[in-house]
């Protein structure tokens, strides 16, 4: 059986080594979108509107090579790594979260007083899903599209077991 579910990447966390020492005060003065307050946070925060993104830049040379290069630092792009992809999808049917949590108590928790979602941990892949009773799902802890698709292939049959009957 093939199920079509469109995944949307909501957030991608990545790191890169720029391979040079950075003067954070200089970056703050030269880059209009840079914020730097070393008493509050030891890194420059840089925001870009399109595509909407934010970077933390450390003095030992992490992040946003193209913009940093414009401020005069001889950056390189070493050791790029995706740390996490947060995605979401909608299975298009409502789910009995209480029954799902009871049946899968070893890997899930559900307290509707605290959160409107169920937390489901896929231990073999270290992926955490937030499952809403509407059928919307948020996946956290993935590092690739393949991991997202594998997690969905594993959870979808479980979700269909706890599908609410629609009247």
Q: Backbone phi, then psi, for 86, in 5-degree steps?
A: -105, 120
Structure tokens at 85: 């992809």
Are 85 and 154 within 8 A, CB to CB?
A: no
Rounded CA gap, 75 and 58, in Å? 13
- For the domain covering 84-161, report its CATH number: 3.30.310.10
Global pTM? 0.71
Q: Report angle CA 103, 84, 58 to the nearest 5 degrees.
A: 145
CATH fold match for the domains 19-76 and 84-161: yes
Per residue of the chain (167 residues), what is the pLDDT tens digit?
Answer: 556 678 887 777 777 777 778 888 888 888 888 889 989 888 888 877 776 777 777 776 555 445 555 566 666 777 878 888 888 999 999 999 999 999 999 999 999 999 999 999 987 778 999 999 999 999 998 888 888 888 888 899 999 999 998 65
- Boundaries of every domain in the chain: 19-76, 84-161
């Amino acid at each position: 059986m093939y199920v079509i579910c469109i995944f949307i990447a909501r957030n991608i966390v990545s790191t890169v080594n720029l391979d040079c020492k950075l003067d954070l005060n200089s970056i703050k003065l030269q880059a209009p979108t840079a914020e730097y307050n070393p008493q509050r946070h030891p890194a420059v925060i840089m925001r870009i509107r399109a595509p909407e993104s934010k970077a933390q830049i450390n003095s030992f040379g992490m992040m946003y090579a193209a913009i940093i290069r414009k401020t005069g630092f001889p950056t390189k792009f070493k050791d790029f790594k995706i740390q996490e992809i947060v995605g979401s999808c909608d299975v298009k049917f409502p789910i009995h979260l209480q029954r799902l949590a009871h049946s899968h108590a070893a890997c899930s928790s559900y307290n509707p007083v605290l959160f409107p979602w169920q937390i489901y941990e896929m231990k073999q892949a270290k992926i955490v899903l937030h499952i809403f009773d509407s059928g919307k799902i948020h996946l956290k802890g993935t590092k690739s599209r393949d991991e997202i698709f594998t997690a969905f292939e594993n959870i979808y049959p479980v979700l269909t077991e706890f599908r609410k009957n629609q009247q």
